[in-house]
């Protein structure tokens, strides 16, 4: 187990924004992970489970508790016919590459999402018409103090099967047989699509708002001429209106200002924008 104290959270999120955390720890095994969670629960200590930090905004005031990072929980293996078992911290790109290496296809469209398996299942991450829920066969979770294994069915758009206070420990994915070179070629194509439509060169946390039932926030933001709107070091991306980017040492308040501004702007026009981004205080 690695522990660090008073560490800047900028280093642990793709937005590169945030103050310090009192403690951040990196369990290396499921047992260490569980011990750390139970320790916090027993002492009624505030804690936050952090995957790859690609869907979070940390406040500049920092986090007055313990961050438990899943980054080192990264065991991955083939198990059973066309199945892969992963710890919660396995990076989605590592999972996609591993699938390719083992001639297993299905999840290519998720290549390039910079999250962990835990974060992706939590949010039911998806891209290019594909969602992670299509491949999740089984999950192992911690619910209160009980470890449960189940086949989840209750996924919906950008909402995973985990209830409040449930923590993903590991997952099993079911895939199909494929040809390594074809899978790698699909992944390459997907990455090119991403790079051409998303602001990859600047820190961000991906799409800020969820798609509505009858509208696309990014499309509306674009139509309203809000692309390029700046506050401090944060800007509504001029490449993809659904992203806010940190172009120059943005503060969390800069980002929150832009989020609130867009939400108010949308509300006045009859739209209720729901946040995909998780704001951590």
Taking Cα atoms as reference points, which of 278, 6, 254, 281 lies closest to residue 125?
A: 278
Catalytic residue from among 54, 116, 207, 252: 207
- By CB under 6 A, residue 56 contacts ligand FAD: yes
**63-69 vs 104-105, strand pairing mode:** unpaired
Nearer Cβ to ligand FAD, position 154 or 181? 154
Residue of 128, 144, 66, 70 lying closest to 96 (CA atoms): 128
Nearer to ligand FAD, 249 or 267 (CB): 249
Q: Is 166 in the active site?
A: no
119 lies in the site for ligand FAD, by CB under 6 A = yes
Q: With helix as H, strand as E and coil as C, how does 114-134 read?
A: CCEHHHHHHHCCEECCEEHHH
Phi and psi torsions of 138, nearest 5°? -145, 150
**Minimum distance, C-beta of residue 243 to ligand FAD, in the bound complex (Å):** 7
Q: What is the DSSP string of 7-38?
A: EEGGGGSTT----EEEEEEE-SSHHHHHHHHH
Q: CB under 6 A: which stretch of 93-101, 197-205, 209-217, 248-256 binds ligand FAD?
A: 197-205
Report the nearest approach of ligand FAD to the CB of residue 124 (Å).
7
Among 115, 152, 161, 217, binds ligand FAD (CB under 6 A): 115
The window from 52-60, 76-84, 225-233, 234-242 that contacts ligand FAD (CB under 6 A) reads 52-60
Least distance in angstroms from the C-beta of 114 to ligand FAD: 5
- Return the number of the residue (104 or 113) whose C-beta is nearest ligand FAD: 113
Helix residue ranges per DSSP H, 88-225: 92-101, 117-123, 180-197, 217-223
| Rounded-to-integer distance, Cα 226 and Cα 111, Å | 29
Instruction: Please name which of 203, 187, 36, 211 lies closest in space to residue 123, comparing C-alpha atoms.
Output: 211
Annotation marks residue 158 as catalytic? yes
Q: Which of 104, 123, 133, 202 binds ligand FAD (CB under 6 A)?
A: 123
Q: Which residues of 264-273 are buried (b: 16+ CB within 10 A; e: fewer)?
A: ebbeeeebeb
Closest approach of ligand FAD to the CB of residue 260, in Å: 20
Binding site for ligand FAD (CB under 6 A): 14, 48-56, 70, 88, 113-116, 118-120, 122-123, 125-127, 162, 167-168, 198, 204-206, 278
Give the residue numbers marked as catalytic: 158, 207, 276
């Amino acid at each position: 187990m690695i522990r660090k104290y008073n560490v800047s959270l900028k280093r642990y999120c793709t937005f590169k924004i945030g103050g310090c955390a009192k403690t951040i720890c990196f369990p290396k095994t499921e047992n260490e992970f569980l011990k750390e969670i139970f320790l916090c629960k027993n002492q009624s200590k505030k804690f936050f489970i952090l995957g790859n930090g690609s869907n979070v905004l940390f406040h500049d005031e920092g986090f007055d508790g313990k961050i438990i990072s899943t980054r080192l929980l990264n065991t991955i293996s083939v198990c059973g016919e066309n199945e892969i078992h992963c710890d919660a911290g396995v990076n989605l790109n590592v999972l996609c590459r591993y699938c390719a290496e083992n001639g297993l296809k299905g999840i290519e469209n998720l290549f390039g999402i910079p999250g962990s398996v835990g974060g992706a299942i939590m949010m039911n991450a998806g891209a290019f018409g594909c969602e992670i829920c299509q491949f999740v066969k089984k999950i192992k979770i911690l619910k209160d103090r009980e470890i449960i294994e189940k086949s989840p069915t209750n996924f919906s758009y950008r909402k995973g099967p985990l209830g409040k206070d449930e923590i993903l420990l590991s997952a099993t994915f079911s895939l199909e047989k494929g040809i390594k070179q074809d899978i790698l070629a699909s992944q390459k194509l997907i990455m090119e699509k991403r790079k051409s439509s998303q602001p990859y060169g600047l820190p961000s946390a991906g799409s800020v708002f969820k798609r509505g039932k009858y509208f696309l926030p990014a499309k509306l933001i674009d139509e309203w001429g809000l692309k390029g709107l700046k506050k401090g070091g944060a800007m509504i991306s001029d490449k993809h209106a659904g992203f806010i980017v940190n172009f120059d040492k943005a503060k969390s308040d800069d980002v929150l200002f832009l989020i609130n501004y867009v939400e108010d702007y949308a509300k006045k026009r009859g739209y209720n924008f729901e946040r995909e981004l998780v704001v951590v205080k």
